[in-house]
Chains A and B, each alone.
Chain A
Amino acid sequence: AQSVTQLDSQVPVFEEAPVELRCNYSSSVSVYLFWYVQYPNQGLQLLLKYLSGSTLVESINGFEAEFNKSQTSFHLRKPSVHISDTAEYFCAVSAEGTYKYIFGTGTRLKVLA
């Protein structure tokens, strides 16, 4: 079985400051890792994913996440946030060959002017 832990329920940060949203997972089998973003009263949008290969993955809007197998982590980072990044971010894992995802409880990022 897999599990996902997002350690911070809320992260306030000032505009143009860097941010890291933490995600740790546990699994006895190989997994794929995802970050999704949810704006208020909307569905989830895929931000980035790690399947294999390079451990650093990037999104088109400046976010990046690094897969660390030894620490079982997949933290999300952005060097300089904007007001528009205010949203809830979910980390998810999926075991290889399965349909099911396990989601973390989410981290609410609030960017302050």
Chain B
Amino acid sequence: DGGITQSPKYLFRKEGQNVTLSCEQNLNHDAMYWYRQDPGQGLRLIYYSQIVNDFQKGDIAEGYSVSREKKESFPLTVTSAQKNPTAFYLCASSVLAGGVYEQYFGPGTRLTVT
């Protein structure tokens, strides 16, 4: 089955530690995205990548880092510089369909930092 996998589903960390969230897709999509979701705020774009070895900052990139060494993988590192890292993180990928980049989402990772 083609799709996007995110692991783990739940992640707990102590304040001051970096943590890496995994995102893998086997849809052969070129573009991948990371969003952060907080209650009442919708989805906010952290980083996106249009192609391997290239990525751009989204609206809230501070305190996060990414890499895109393979087409299938787009891991997100939440660093200790992120002031409020507890949130639900969603990974997505997109394909050009009918003139628009249609986004598909993974199941998400809920990160709790105490």
- Name A residues whose Cβ lies closer than 8 Å to a Cβ of B: 6, 9, 32, 36, 41-46, 49, 51, 90, 94, 96, 98-101, 103-106
Q: Is the CB of A43 within 8 A of B43?
A: no
Count of inter-chain pairs, beta carbons less than 8 A: 58
Q: How large is the interface on B (under 10, 10 to 19, 20 to 34, 35 or more residues)?
A: 20 to 34
| A15 CB → nearest B CB, Å | 25
> Chain A interface secondary structure, helix, strand, loop or mixed?
loop
With contact pairs A9-B40, A43-B90 given, residues A99 and B31 touching in the complex (Cβ less than 8 Å): yes
Using A9-B40, A44-B90, A105-B40 as known contacts, say yes or no to A51 and B108 having CB atoms under 8 A apart. no
Q: Which 3 A-B residue pairings sit nearest by Cβ, starting from the closest?
A: A43-B105, A105-B42, A103-B43
State which of B12-20, B64-72, B77-85, B96-104 sits at the interface with chain A.
Answer: B96-104
